[in-house]
Amino acid sequence: MLFEVGDTPVPVGFAYRPRDLDHANAGVAEFIAEYDAPVGFVVTGDTIDTDRPIVRTHARTIQLPYWLYLLLC
For the entire predicted model, the pTM comes to 0.83
Looking at residue 63, its pLDDT comes to 92
Say how far apart CA 21 and CA 46 lie, in whole Å.
10
Please name which of 21, 67, 49, 26 lies closest in space to residue 11, comparing C-alpha atoms: 26
The per-residue pLDDT for range 8-52, each reduced to its tens digit, is 999 999 998 878 889 999 999 999 999 999 999 999 987 666 677
Spatial neighbors of 28 by CB under 8 A, at least 6 apart, are: 11, 12, 13, 40, 41, 42, 61
Query: Cα 55 to the chain's mean position, in Å?
Result: 10
